[in-house]
Amino acid sequence: MKEAPTSSSSSSSEEEENENTLSKSENNENDEDDESALLSRGHLFDAFKFTSVSKNPLVKISTRVFEKFLPDLFVKRRRRTKEANAKTNFARKVKQWVSQIESSYQDSIDYHNRAHATDVTQSIGYMLGNGLREELDDVEVFALICTAVAHDCGHPGKSNLFLVETKSEKAKRWNNEAVNENGHVEFAIEAFEKCEVFRNDDDDVRSSNRRSDEKNRSEEMKETVYEILKTAILYTDMNKHETLIEDFREALERNRGKKAIKEWAKKEDVHVALGYVLHCADVLNGCRPWPVAKKWAELITEEFCKQGDVEKSLGFEKLTGAHVDRALRTDITSSRQAIKFAEETVKPLYGLLKEIVPNAVEPLLTQLELNVEKHRALIQESQR
């Protein structure tokens, strides 16, 4: 596990370079150039702009992340060899899988849409590029990126509690437990099977032993990816927040002295770590530049209030929480909620995340604190 740097000069110069890259591209009419500039922003990434210039932003962002961190499996051009064709076919099927996942996100939903999935996927790329890649093996990296892509697929814009209270079919199917998250896992795995991502379809002539070995490796990869999907996505249920922190803390303690997560003795501990990283990525939008973070805060507030509107229309005697009651909403509601979430959820999460990716965490906490102060200023201004 990595040590934090003693100097911030390199990171600050990198941010200056990113700013220059973005400003140079603002008037560029080529979407590819715009996408590249936006991707170079690191933790300052703006998913709203990226979504506006990309026809399929989740496919685009995931392809970039796959190609960057798994170059042996995902490259733009290959020599025409049978081995290369097999890898190209795998990449093609993964892209089909991402496309199916992206189509399940509803743009009519304010927060849990493909812009959010794009933001979380880029967040994973940011962490991989700031120390996490060296901690993981290839299959773990692949699975982690997939969890980001699919972690909210098919989200209905309603909370688990709402689905339980309305006795929805989904709630019945999952026995009222992690209703949304179980649905996300199920959809993701069904899409993997439909796209035959893990089927070995290389048609060259090989010995039966070699074919058997390759089939076994594909099956092992599929089993690992599915296990990580289930563990990580189920941990994104906010009801599992405290449990996840405790599980991750215990995993860290059991593996003190190990150089990297991939060397941890128990695969369950590795999967917990990946779930922890995904959870941190899922709540990273509060660490984006102020205008972006502010917009995310407003969108989640609006999504909550729309749920409350539905609850009132259904005649709920008691709403599922004050946060969904539009009658209680003010101009600073989203700021109050953002501050509470930052202080009680994000900061403690990232405090532990420093144990594995300190280089990634420090800029996030700095930006988060800046945003919290901006929110506080808005509240103070409203009280004058």
State the binding site. Answer: 116, 151-152, 282
Instruction: Copy the structure tokens of residue 185.
Output: 């896992």
Helix ranges, the chain (H)? 9-25, 31-39, 47-53, 57-69, 82-104, 114-127, 138-150, 160-165, 169-173, 179-194, 208-234, 241-254, 267-282, 290-313, 333-341, 347-353, 358-382
Diameter over CA atoms, the chain: 79
What 3-state class would DSSP assign to 318? coil
In the annotation, is 112 catalytic?
yes
Q: Which residues are annotated as a binding site for Zn(2+)?
A: 116, 151-152, 282
Q: Can you point out the beta strands (E) in the chain?
A: none
Residue 148, C-beta contacts closer than 8 angstroms, at least 6 positions apart: 62, 117, 120, 121, 123, 124, 278, 281
* Catalytic-labelled residue, pool 112, 184, 323, 375: 112
Instruction: Copy the structure tokens of residue 306.
Output: 């729309």
Instruction: Copy the structure tokens of residue 5.
Output: 């740097």
Q: CA-CA distance, 134 to 93, in Å (whole number)?
A: 26
Of 380, 296, 276, nearest to 342 by C-alpha is 296
Instruction: Copy the structure tokens of residue 368.
Output: 């988060």
So which residues are the catalytic ones?
112
